Amino acid sequence: MGKKLKLGIIGAGRIGRMHAENIVSNFRYVEVKAVADIFADKIKAWAEELGIKNVYKDYKNILEDKEIDAVLIFSSTDTHAQIIIEAANSGKDIFCEKPIDFELDRIKQALDAVEKANVKFQIGFNRRFDHNFKRVYDLIQEGKVGDVHIVKITSRDPEPPPIEYVKSSGGLFFDMMIHDFDMARFLTGSDVTEVFASAAVLIDPAIGEAGDVDTAIVSLKFENGALGVIDNSRKAVYGYDQRVEVFGSKGCITVSNDTPSSAVLSSAEGVISDKPKYFFPERYKDAYIEEMKAFFDCIINDKKPIVTGRDGLEPVLIGMAANRSLVEGRPIKIER
């Protein structure tokens, strides 16, 4: 293997720590050389146990370290664009958790910086690396469904997030359905041209009071002529419901939820099987590792990332259109 790939991690909240631990456990050809977090003191013990030698309060220390090849950005969304720009200017390859930003201008500035610096850039749409969705994608690529006619995506959380989160997250279309917008583009291989959103507050009135919805169905039209529909709910009592269906001229592919086991109990009460894995940490456990593997592979073998800057931008455009559709009660065309 020779020299190890050297990383700096910016942001060590829940998701940042998960990624750091995944990397230390799974990629012996990679070294996490430094981690930066505004609460640097709080993560020192954790970093030490992981064998990360440098813990900074200021991410600029990472950007200044010439030995570091790439940065992983897991800080709060409002810092993403600025850090991307600086990291790109420092010549670091970049992995950034989604979304890049909520403002189009800032997203474009960040992507411009990336392009100018000609660094690798991957955005954290981890579901593309899920074994089920990846398999759907592969089967489509192999021509098994022929031309795609209809894409249906179901995404339902086991529990609504805290109301505070709802207030600042950008709303259901941005904190939740944005993954499905990306999935729709990934599977069809086509951009979305028109969006119609239908939504309601059926689970918790407090979500409505916070200006958001908790149940939504969004119709999509794609550039290649296909039609799509996504449904989201903030609360599925049976757990995390993550399915897709792709129908085309040669067939239809569906995926069902992953479960903790395949055990089926037949009793006088009925035939009972496991509920889906509870939430994203369980369901996408391996996908989080796979997306890192793909990022490292891009850097080491000089490949184009599977999830590009434009893949980070487009779902934001769709989410904005969905929000506008909901407000105006009509379908919205996406302008680029």
User: Minimum CB separation from a copy of itself for residue 24, in Å?
Assistant: 8
Which CB atom, from 106 or from 235, has the smaller least distance to a copy of itself? 235
Task: Give the C-alpha separation, 307 to 181, whole Å.
Answer: 13
Structure tokens at 191: 């951009």
User: Minimum CB separation from a copy of itself for residue 307, in Å?
Assistant: 20
Which CB atom, from 239 or from 319, has the smaller least distance to a copy of itself? 239
- Encode 76-109: b = buried (16+ Cβ within 10 Å), e = exposed: ebeebbbbbbbbbebebbbbbbbbbbbeeebbeb
Which CB atom, from 191 or from 231, has the smaller least distance to a copy of itself? 231
Which CB atom, from 211 or from 270, has the smaller least distance to a copy of itself? 270
User: Minimum CB separation from a copy of itself for residue 186, in Å?
Assistant: 15
Please return the burial class of 203, using the count of CB atoms within 10 Å of its CB with bins 0-12, 13-18 and 19+. middle
Closest CA to 17 of 2, 37, 3: 37
User: Minimum CB separation from a copy of itself for residue 254, in Å?
Assistant: 5
Which CB atom, from 156 or from 179, has the smaller least distance to a copy of itself? 156
Which CB atom, from 110 or from 236, has the smaller least distance to a copy of itself? 236
Residue 29: C-alpha distances to residues 44, 112, 145, 257 (Å):
23, 30, 38, 33
Closest CA to 253 of 126, 128, 142: 142
User: Minimum CB separation from a copy of itself for residue 250, in Å?
Assistant: 6
User: Minimum CB separation from a copy of itself for residue 172, in Å?
Assistant: 13
User: Minimum CB separation from a copy of itself for residue 112, in Å?
Assistant: 34
* Torsion angle of C-alpha atoms 169, 176, 84, 109, degrees rounded to 10: -80
Query: Tell me, what DSSP letter sits at residue 93?
Result: E
Closest CA to 226 of 153, 150, 154: 150
Which CB atom, from 105 or from 268, has the smaller least distance to a copy of itself? 268
Closest CA to 57 of 36, 78, 73, 74: 36
Beta strands in 114-234, from DSSP E residues, in sequence order? 121-123, 148-156, 192-200, 215-222, 227-233
